[in-house]
């Protein structure tokens, strides 16, 4: 049951945002991973977040990582693409959306702000933002075309 990694990633990627979105809704319902203190009209008081209103960052992430990412990948994957292209789009946009949403999210208490206004989540998103376009570029250049391993080629001749 060996499956090539990139075609499998391309097949799974459009469905992953559904799980991400449901997870963020669960975070909202369970009073987890709330946003930073805010005075925006839609700011909310979270029981675990103290008496000050906070941004509902879980809902931002639900909309970005769940709904919008699902729409982008569903539209992009409708046409045939080279192996790795859809997965690369997932990596790119998940990284971008996570980086942006982190500006509204309260940093993890044990980490705080890692450097200036940036959180660990943003630093972990940067490699995805860089790697996504590389995967897409490589896919369109034919770099992920499957070829037999060298040992199999030598045995066949």
pLDDT per position as a tens digit, 61-72: 999 999 999 999
Q: What local confidence, expressed as pLDDT, does residue 3 receive? A: 79
With a cut of 90, say whether residue 131 has pLDDT above it.
yes
Percent of the chain residues topping a pLDDT of 70: 90
pLDDT, average across residues 51-74: 93
Of the given ranges (66-70, 100-104, 110-114), which has the lowest mean pLDDT?
110-114
Report residue 29: phi and psi, to 5°: -65, -40
What angle separates helix 16-29 from helix 69-76, to the nearest 10 degrees? 170
CB 132 within 8 A of CB 92: yes
With a cut of 60, say whether residue 157 has pLDDT above it.
no
Domain layout of the chain by residue ranges: 5-144
3-state secondary structure of 41: coil
Q: What local confidence, expressed as pLDDT, does residue 147 receive? A: 43
The pTM of this model reads 0.83
With a cut of 70, say whether residue 156 has pLDDT above it.
no
Neighbouring-strand partners of residue 37: 54
pLDDT, average across residues 42-50: 92
CA atoms of 16 and 116, how far apart (whole Å) = 31
Q: What local confidence, expressed as pLDDT, does residue 5 receive? A: 83
pLDDT digits (tens, 9 = 90+) for 17-31: 999 999 999 999 999
């Amino acid at each position: 049951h060996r499956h090539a990694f990139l075609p499998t990633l391309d097949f799974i990627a459009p469905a992953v945002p559904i799980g991400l979105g449901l997870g963020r809704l669960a975070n909202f319902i369970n009073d987890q991973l709330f946003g930073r203190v805010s005075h925006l009209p839609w700011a909310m008081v979270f029981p675990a977040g103290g008496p000050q209103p906070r941004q509902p960052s879980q809902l931002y992430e639900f909309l970005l990582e769940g709904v919008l990412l699902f729409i982008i990948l569903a539209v992009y994957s409708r046409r045939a693409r080279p192996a790795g292209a859809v997965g690369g789009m997932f990596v790119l946009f998940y990284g971008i959306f996570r980086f942006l949403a982190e500006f509204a999210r309260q940093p993890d208490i044990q980490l705080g702000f890692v450097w200036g206004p940036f959180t660990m989540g943003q630093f972990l998103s940067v490699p995805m933002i860089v790697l996504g376009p590389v995967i897409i570029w490589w896919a369109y250049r034919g770099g992920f075309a499957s070829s037999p391993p060298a040992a199999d080629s030598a045995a066949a001749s």
